[in-house]
Amino acid sequence: MNTKAQMKELATFWRTWAPYWSHQEDFALDIEAINKLTTAIVGPVLVIGAGQGLLVERLQLKGFKAEGVDLDPDMIMYGKSRRGLNLIQANAKDMPFEDRSYKTSIIATGVVDFLSDEEEIRLIINEARRVTDDSGKVFVAFYRYHPEVERALRDIGLITDNGLNRFRRLYEMTMLSCCDRIGFIRAIKNEAKVGFFGALWLLLKTQTRLPKKEKRERKGMAKLWRQARKELDNPKSLIDCLPEHIPYRNEEQIRNLFKNLNVPIRNMFIYDSCTLVQL
């Protein structure tokens, strides 16, 4: 897929999911990761790809002067109505700020980590560095599944050996897990190419090892689908708008990305929900 088509696909995804994003907002670059990172953060802070403002709100509650930008106008609207935040609508490649306006910039998950085009990623990173003080810090977040979830997704084939997340199929199966338990087991059986009891064993093994946060995420997805079934004539439209694939980069692939971009990494923080790179 070319870059313009991918960007359009991602824009459609965020716009369609905005009314339901509150169920998913704390499961990538999350409050837990930000809480651990606060000793390394200096204000003022800019969150790039702020979504509906969860991280901006958390940073403000911790006493930081923090602002957020997002490309999607619906995310901006919900940030105002749900959190009272005046987020700024802006493209991460061209933000309306003076040079060196912030001491810390955080590129949230769902921005560069969803992109495969390295030149697009370069533009976003260069812009973040432009608006950050020379003595400041730029962080770039990459979404990451809990190791038990990742192991299961690789076993099923939803994460491929060449670093792709079969994003649309993953969410199709997630919807099945909330709405049609037998259908979900059959989907695991077909994707993993195992028997019915092999699929059941894979499911049970994963579920018994999941920490509380991942179990909360599953409950959040169930609430999301219930809300969508009430509000949408075609709830499957939430699935149909998803990109078929997005990148899924491990630590080595992230390091190779920045090596290709000729951008040195100062530090890397690995959490259950994300990998955070300090430039």
pLDDT tens per residue across span 88-136: 999 999 999 999 999 999 999 999 999 999 999 999 999 999 999 999 9
Tens-place pLDDT, residues 214-242: 778 888 888 888 888 889 888 889 999 99
Helices 167-179 & 181-192, crossing angle to 10 degrees? 150
Report how far residue 77's alpha carbon sits from residue 87's, in angstroms, rounded to the nearest whole number.
8
pLDDT over 80 (residue 211): no
Q: Which residues contact 251 (CB under 8 A, 6 or more apart)?
A: 268, 270, 275
Instruction: Give the least confident one: 34-38, 50-54, 109-113, 148-152.
Output: 34-38
pLDDT of residue 207: 79
Tokens 């019915």 -> residue: 196
Contacts 24+ apart (CB under 8 A), 147-153: 147/272, 148/206, 148/209, 148/210, 148/211, 148/214, 149/206, 149/210, 149/214, 151/206, 152/202, 152/205, 152/206
Mean pLDDT of 248-259: 96
Report how far residue 245's alpha carbon sits from residue 158's, in angstroms, rounded to the nearest whole number.
10
Query: Closest by alpha carbon to 262, among 121, 144, 138, 139?
Result: 121
Q: Which residues contact 40 (CB under 8 A, 6 or more apart)?
A: 137, 278
Report how far residue 101's alpha carbon sits from residue 90's, in angstroms, rounded to the nearest whole number.
15
Q: Is pLDDT larger for residue 199 or for residue 42?
A: 42
For the chain, where do the domains classified as CATH 3.40.50.150 start and end? 3-144+249-278
Mean pLDDT of 147-168: 92
Confidence at 1, pLDDT banded by 50, 70, 90: low
Report how far residue 187's alpha carbon sits from residue 164's, in angstroms, rounded to the nearest whole number.
19
Q: Output the CA torsion sign for 94, 95, 96, 101.
A: negative
Tens-place pLDDT, residues 22-35: 888 877 777 788 88
pLDDT of residue 149: 87
pLDDT of residue 165: 96
Mean pLDDT of 185-212: 86
Instruction: Give the least confident one: 61-75, 83-97, 210-224, 243-257.
Output: 210-224
Q: Do β-strands 267-270 and 274-278 pair in parallel, antiparallel, or remain unpaired?
A: antiparallel
* Peptide bond between residue 44 and the one before it cis (omega within 30 degrees of 0): yes
Which one-letter amino acid corresponds to residue 193? K
pLDDT over 70 (residue 164): yes
Largest Cα–Cα separation, the chain: 60
Model's pTM, two decimal places? 0.92
CATH 3.40.50.150 fits 3-144+249-278, yes or no: yes
The mean pLDDT of the chain is 91
